[in-house]
Amino acid sequence: MRTIEWKNDMKNGTITLIDQTLLPGEYKIIECKTVSALCEAIASLRIRGAPALGAAGGYGVALAAHTSTTTSFEQFMRDLHVAAETIKQTRPTAINLAWGVDRVIAAVRESSTSRIDEARRIALCEAVAIAEEDVQRNKRLSRHGAALFEDGDTVLTHCNAGRLACVDVGTAIGVIRAAVEAGKEISVISCETRPLNQGSRITTWELMQDKIPVTLIADSAAGSMMREGLIDKVIVGADRITRDAVFNKIGTYTHSVLAKEHDIPFYVAAPISTFDPARLEHDVVIEERDPDELRRINGVMLAPAGAVVYNPAFDATPIRNVTAVITEDGVMYPAQPDWWSRIPTS
């Protein structure tokens, strides 16, 4: 099963997705039959990870097209735009979500159709294309990245940039898997990734399923492990890459500084859809999440009720801390003055 799929049903079509909030305890597929159900799933991280959110955005617009009940084409397009804005606002940092939404809206608009049934078909075709491309791009990216890893490497990763963060395959974990498939022995250090534990719950689970050796650590153990020479490389995914910074799960910046201090290569794996040529670091909104994610876990209090909390979901790593960015078009080195010129601008 892919992380997210479209299922044709008797009525309007349904988005099915793996509910990642339940992993690793339960593997459950849920159905989103309305845009508001999809928005709830995105906001509560049932579906998460930048490339998966790109697919969710695309399928979300297709769902809006299929559930709009109007017979007026003008009203139909208005319905699509309202849905598009609602979906985009669920999570602001990963650029892929808005990218997926905008791509499907553009496909409908550029078709110049004024027939609702035709617009529905076009929207769904484009959403399916986004999902299919994600799988193919991640396979290419993984092959490019695998060459950077050596037999015997121990690799630290943060959060989850595996197949569950994408439609399939994964980015950072896709690279590790491709290196293993190429015959290299790689072991992984998976940071737990507080507060929502995508590292312990999802990355560790994915790697164990793949039978790739993985050791779970508390986020705060990374520094001393690097100092003791226990980490050879770091690889993470990205939610957005501007010319000057990589946005990824909170804690990524800390790992990048530690890696620099200990002369450890720091790699970022992301498809071109994650690049944002229009913005710089300070233009990007970092999502702040519910304080209760830090105050309690499964109903158990971890802090006094009402404790003041700051809970940003992402941070920015200056591009100078990044050794290489691995994309489906090859490996790019930010230390090279012209590296950004290889990024498509549209």
- Nearest CA among 85, 117, 118 for reference residue 102: 85
Catalytic residue, candidates 239, 276, 315, 329 = 239
Closest to ligand MRU by CB, 14 vs 273, is: 273
Closest to ligand MRU by CB, 198 vs 317, is: 198
> What angle is formed at CA 259 by the lines to CA 253 and CA 265, rounded to 5 degrees?
110
CB of 166 to ligand MRU, least distance (A): 6
Q: What token pair was written down for 28? A: 């459950």
Q: Is 234 strand, coil or helix?
A: strand
Give the C-alpha separation, 230 to 200, whole Å: 19
Torsion of CA 183, 189, 192, 197, to 10 degrees: -10
CB of 142 to ligand MRU, least distance (A): 11
CB of 111 to ligand MRU, least distance (A): 30
Closest to ligand MRU by CB, 95 vs 123, is: 95
What is the DSSP code (8-state) at residue 286? P
Whether the CA torsion 177, 178, 179, 183 is positive or negative: it is positive
Q: Is 192 strand, coil or helix?
A: coil
- Nearest CA among 30, 65, 33 for reference residue 45: 30
Closest to ligand MRU by CB, 26 vs 117, is: 26
Strands (E), the chain: 4-7, 14-18, 29-32, 154-157, 187-191, 214-217, 233-236, 240-241, 245-249, 266-269, 296-297, 300-301, 314-318, 324-327, 330-332
CB of 253 to ligand MRU, least distance (A): 12
Give the C-alpha separation, 306 to 64, whole Å: 39
CB 267 within 8 A of CB 234: yes
CB of 313 to ligand MRU, least distance (A): 5
Closest to ligand MRU by CB, 116 vs 294, is: 294
Footprint of ligand MRU (CB under 6 A):
45, 48-51, 94, 159, 161, 165-166, 171, 198, 236-239, 248-249, 313
CB of 135 to ligand MRU, least distance (A): 13
Active site residue 290: no
Closest to ligand MRU by CB, 126 vs 206, is: 206
Show which residues are catalytic. 239
